[in-house]
């Protein structure tokens, strides 16, 4: 029997029409742990778990947690909301190695407290901060953030291109009015 494995499989929703990802963990001693199970296809015991593994279905994924590559693969292939749920479970329940991987820098994130989920991505704090525009307070991505003169951009040093263009546009009318025009004359 395989041990120290995280298994992702299709459990079913309550009226049988929908499915959702369910998870269980079989620890190093071979003990079954139900991380999340739902509906009639949900599995809450070792017997059911072994039967599922035996059936070897297309939508059953087995991750060997003794292998770092498997843990990384899980983080890459799974929606961040689920990664966070599974990581939280390991944070709370088990003293075994498990982590999420930052979508931007690939660093290892050991705790749910150290990650930020943004749409389909999961970021470490550093990457999130580097890609967030402090002016419009939205996540843009590092490539969309530019350095600006804080005097012209409400004291922000780094802002997104849209905010920069917007501020630049706001200032333009001044060029043709009042002081500036007088200086030119
Ligand atoms: Zn990162
Ligand atoms: Zn912005």
Please give the pLDDT value at position 139.
93
Residues 66 and 120 in one domain: yes
Count how many domains the chain has: 2
* d(CA 142, ligand 2 centre) in Å: 12
* d(CA 134, ligand 2 centre) in Å: 7
- Name 146's bridge partners: 159
* d(CA 116, ligand 2 centre) in Å: 18
Residues 12 and 86 in one domain: yes
* d(CA 170, ligand 2 centre) in Å: 14
* d(CA 75, ligand 2 centre) in Å: 29
Residues 17 and 38 in one domain: yes
Of the ligands numbered here, which is closest to the C-alpha atom of 138?
A: 2
Residues that place a CB less than 5 A from ion ligand 2: 133, 135-136, 160, 163
Written as tens digits, the pLDDT of the chain (185 aa) is 899 999 999 998 666 568 899 999 999 999 999 999 988 889 999 999 999 999 988 899 999 999 999 999 999 999 999 999 999 999 998 778 899 999 999 999 999 999 999 989 999 999 999 999 999 999 999 999 999 999 999 999 999 999 999 999 988 765 555 555 555 55
Of the ligands numbered here, which is closest to the C-alpha atom of 135?
A: 2
User: Which of 102, 124, 146 is where one domain is finished?
Assistant: 124
Of the ligands numbered here, which is closest to the C-alpha atom of 123?
A: 1
Please write down the long-range contacts of 158-166, taking CB distance under 8 Å and 24 or more positions apart: 158/133, 158/134, 159/133, 159/134, 159/135, 160/133, 160/135, 160/136, 162/133, 162/136, 163/133, 163/135, 163/136
Please give the pLDDT value at position 56.
86
- Name 24's bridge partners: 7, 34
Question: What does R_g of the chain's alpha carbons equal in angstroms?
Answer: 25
Q: Which tokens go with 30?
A: 């071979």
Residues 83 and 32 in one domain: yes
Domain that holds residue 17: 5-124
């Amino acid at each position: 029997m395989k041990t120290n494995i995280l298994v992702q499989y299709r459990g079913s929703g309550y009226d049988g029409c929908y499915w959702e990802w369910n998870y269980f963990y079989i620890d190093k001693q071979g003990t079954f742990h139900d991380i999340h199970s739902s509906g009639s296809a949900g599995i809450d015991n070792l017997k059911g778990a072994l039967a599922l593994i035996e059936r070897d279905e297309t939508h059953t994924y087995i991750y060997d947690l003794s292998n770092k590559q498997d843990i990384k693969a899980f983080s890459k292939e799974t929606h961040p909301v689920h990664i966070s749920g599974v990581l939280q479970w390991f944070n709370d329940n088990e003293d075994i190695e498990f982590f999420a991987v930052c979508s931007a820098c690939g660093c290892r994130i050991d705790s749910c407290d150290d990650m930020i989920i943004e749409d389909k991505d999961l970021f470490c704090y550093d990457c999130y901060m580097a890609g967030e525009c402090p002016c419009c307070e939205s996540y843009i991505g590092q490539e969309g953030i530019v350095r600006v003169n804080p005097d012209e951009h409400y004291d922000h040093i780094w802002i997104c291109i849209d905010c920069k263009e917007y501020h630049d546009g706001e200032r333009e009318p001044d060029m043709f009015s009042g002081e500036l025009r007088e200086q030119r004359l």
